Structures are given as structure tokens and as C-alpha cells.
Structure 1
Amino acid sequence: MTKPGTPVAGAKSELTISKRRLKDICNDFNERLRVILSGKNSDYSPLELGRPCLHFLNCGFPDIPIQMSVQRLIDKKLQANHPFSLVSVVDMPEYLAAPVAIFQSKTRIDSKVILTEMEDKGINFVVAIEMQKIKGNRKVNDVRSIYPKDNIKDVLRWIGEDRLMEYYDKEKILNWLSKQQSNSAEVTKLIKDCTKIVEK
């Protein structure tokens, strides 16, 4: 990871505007989520999650909006293998803007998987995003999947064996690794190996 360069004139004000814009997007998202939770939703236009943060851009995301289908969110919430409470995704735009780690998808070259600090019952969410998905007459970064990732072995292998991790926040991912526990000797070794990789 490269160190940030010397700030240029106006950079601070631009950052302030960017943070304010993200807060507005987050507030709009949370309001739509509140309506969905009330059971009275009639607006099925895409949920807006803002534009890719710098970390996303550095990992190959195009600078176009990130969106999520309302129906996809509801469907993922209800799926049998990874059910979760919609309350857990409050402030999702802000969580995406400050990821724990970004991985290249193991199965799709046009997709990335984001490990976030969003949690449901202590389990961190992953968000799979397909880049440059054509929706109507425009291209967007489209959220294809969102769920609490309870199978930590997959994530550990993405880091240690598959070398799919393209970005990580060192403090956040070390904190995530320190919380993982397993009775499996294999998983325990993976946790130690991944910790060594991150600490280098």
C-alpha cells in the first residue's frame, strides 16, 4: 500500500463535500430501508449506494454508481442458508465506502467481493458486486449478493491460498481475524497464516 501524497490545495474541501454527499446518500438509503421494513414499500427503483470509493477504484471498479435491487435485498434476506435482519444493513453506503477488504471474485472476472464491517449476530457481511452491469440504458456497479459470511474458511482461503485479496485495511482485517475461532486445526492454521500475510 502506498502512502498518500502531499495534500493539494482544495483537497480538504473536496473531501468534506464528498463526505457530506455520502452522508446524504446514506440518509436516503436508510429512509428507503425504513419504508421497506414497515411493509409499505411501493418504490422498486434501485437502491442507490453512492459511487466507488478510492479503494474500489484502485481495485479496478469503474467510476459509475453502485446500485442494489430492492427485490434482491429482500430475496437475500429471506434465503434459507444466510437469513439476516434488514436492520443489519443500515448505513450500508458508508460501510461500502470503508471496506475491511476487497477480493477478486473466484468465479467471475467481472465481479469483486467486499468484506465489510456490517454484522448480523456477530457475523460480517460480504457484498458481491458485478462491475459495469447494463441496467436499462446505463451501466452500473450492481450488487448481486449480500449476506453474513458464516463460512470463514472461504474468506481465509481467499487471503492465504487463492491470493484474491486486492485491498485491505490492516487494522480492520487484523481485528476480524482476531475474532475468528474454530475447533478445526485446519481453520486455526489458516487464521495464523493469514495473520502473518497481513502483518508483513
Structure 2
Amino acid sequence: MLKLTARCRHVMHMLGWQPQQPHPAAASMVLEHCDIGDLRDLKKSHENFSVEFPEGLTWHVLKSVSLALAFLATGHGTENYGHGSWVSIVHRDIKPANILLKRDSTSPFPQVKLTDLGIAGLSGRHGYQEDVHDSRVGTPFWQAPEFPKSSTSADLWALGAVVDFLALKVTPYDAAEYMRAVGTR
């Protein structure tokens, strides 16, 4: 999956890997360096200094992550695009901590990188994640209402929740309310 995503500038690139000793079956990945850090920490630093999060940056994040999700869903930019052979990739954990930022000397805005495809999966014939029996993965507070079903639509819902977080300073669910709702599923 990482080889496929290397074609999108808005998805984190793996530069290499190194087997871990004494367990060579486990490996450490070498990823691009994102000097600004993640979106959650950047938002927190703005709040610590009582500075509004820039609206232009919110729009830039929305556009960049939308392009990353469009790539994962359609394969746009690959030889498989438009030929029906691309199987959609469902990220399943869209949240501010999985959106990294890297300085860009050619733009007033940083490069935006969607990261952590560790629990990503392939979309099944009905559009939902079907490659595992239990899809209860990801960060519950950032999951779409149809959780535990995962889909490219659920990824897009989570991106909307990220934009709400940046613009309105709200998370998708109140913690106590969420725990009550999950207990009823």
C-alpha cells in the first residue's frame, strides 16, 4: 500500500525501512521529516498564545487532505486511474494528529501530509471496509456515525470533523455523550 501512496504528494512517503533486532520480522520505517509537526499540536500552540487559527490555513488543510482522500479512493495519478482496477483505500483514522505539516519555501502555507495508514484497508464491493471482521479500529472520537463500518465516505466525514475542530474549536463528540452512545451499540 505504501508503494501506491508514494505517488501522492499529500500522503506521507516512506523513504526506507530497517529490520529491528532481535526480531527481524518487525521493522522501523523512515518517513519524510515534517518540521512543523502535526495539526493537533499546531492548533494547540495557537490556543496557548490566544491566537486564532488562520482561516486560510484551514482551507489549505481541507483542500490538501481532500486531494489525499481522493487519491486513496480513486487512484487519481496512477496508471490504474479510470480503468476500474483501482481498489479504494479507506484510511479509517482521519484526525488532526494524523495530519502532518512541513515547511514549503514556495508557498505561504506548509505542505500537508496525511499519515498513519497503519490501519487503512481496502474498500469492499459495497463501498465499506470488508477486509477484516471487526472494524473497531481508529480513534473513536473522530469516527463517523456509521462506525464501526468504515468507508471512503466515513473518511470524508472525519475530514469535516477536523475542519470543525480548526474553525469552531469543537470535536465531533462530547466524551461523556460518546461513551453513552457507544454503550448502546
Q: Which has the higher contact order (CA 8 A, sep 6+)?
A: 2
Q: Which has the higher helix share?
A: 1
State the TM-score, normalized to the length of structure 2. 0.32
State the TM-score, normalized to the length of structure 1. 0.30
Q: Which has the higher strand share?
A: 1
